[in-house]
């Protein structure tokens, strides 16, 4: 038996302590359940060994986005305790693999942020946008 971040005991073969930022680094944004500085226990069929980190090179880019969309993305990044770049990277990698990037709880938070910032654009609008 080991103890988790709160001191509770658990059997490591059944529960795995996961950190959102660590999960993100392995390309698993879909497993984000909260803030990265809080450890979360997730039931797993079998505890997995951590994968070795992938060495990459990042470049600075200037990207133009619709104002309300950017506010929603920044709010979501803050909620998940990620940088905006990490969030966009994860969304793009999931999209390129035809995988859903978010769990239902995260989608609920996104819906809240869309309402707060008045974002009424949908995927089908993406080919019909014009700037003022």
Q: Does any domain span residue 57? A: no
Q: Which of 16, 15, 14, 34 is nearest to 24 (CA)?
A: 34
Q: What is the rounded average pLDDT for all residues in the chain?
A: 76
Burial letters 108-128, b for 16+ CB under 10 A, else e: ebbeebbeebebeeeeeeeee
Confidence tier at 55 by pLDDT (50, 70, 90):
very high
Q: In this predicted structure, what is the pLDDT of residue 33?
A: 42
Residue 3: inside a domain, yes or no?
Answer: no
More confident residue, 39 or 99: 99
pTM of the model: 0.61
36: which residues sit within 8 A by CB, 6+ positions away?
Answer: 19, 20, 21, 22, 24, 80, 81, 82
Instruction: Answer yes or no: is 23 within a domain.
Output: yes
The answer to the question of residue 130 being in a domain is no
The residue among 40, 51, 49, 44 whose CA lies nearest residue 17 is: 40
In a domain, 59, yes or no: no
Residue 94 belongs to some domain of the structure: yes
In a domain, 74, yes or no: yes
Q: Write the pLDDT tens digit of every residue in 60-105.
A: 999 999 999 999 999 999 999 999 999 999 999 999 999 999 999 9
Q: Which residues, in sequence order, are CB contacts of 110 under 8 Å at separation 6+?
A: 72, 76, 102
Position 92 in a domain? yes
Q: Which domain holds residue 103?
A: 9-48+65-121
Domain count, the chain: 1
Residue 50 has pLDDT above 70, yes or no: yes
| Residues whose CB is less than 8 angstroms from the CB of residue 82 and which lie 6 or more positions away in sequence, other chains included | 20, 21, 24, 36, 90
């Amino acid at each position: 038996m080991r103890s988790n971040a709160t001191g509770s005991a658990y059997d490591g073969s059944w529960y795995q302590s996961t950190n959102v930022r660590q999960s993100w680094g392995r390309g698993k944004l879909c497993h984000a359940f909260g803030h990265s500085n809080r450890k979360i226990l997730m039931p797993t069929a079998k505890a997995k060994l951590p994968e070795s980190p992938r060495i990459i090179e990042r470049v600075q880019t200037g990207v133009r986005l619709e104002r309300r969309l950017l506010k929603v993305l920044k709010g979501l990044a803050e909620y998940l305790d990620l940088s905006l770049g990490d969030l966009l990277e994860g969304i793009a990698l999931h999209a390129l693999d035809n995988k859903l990037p978010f769990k239902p709880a995260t989608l609920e938070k996104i819906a809240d942020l869309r309402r707060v910032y008045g974002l009424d654009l949908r995927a089908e609008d993406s080919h019909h946008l014009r700037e003022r």
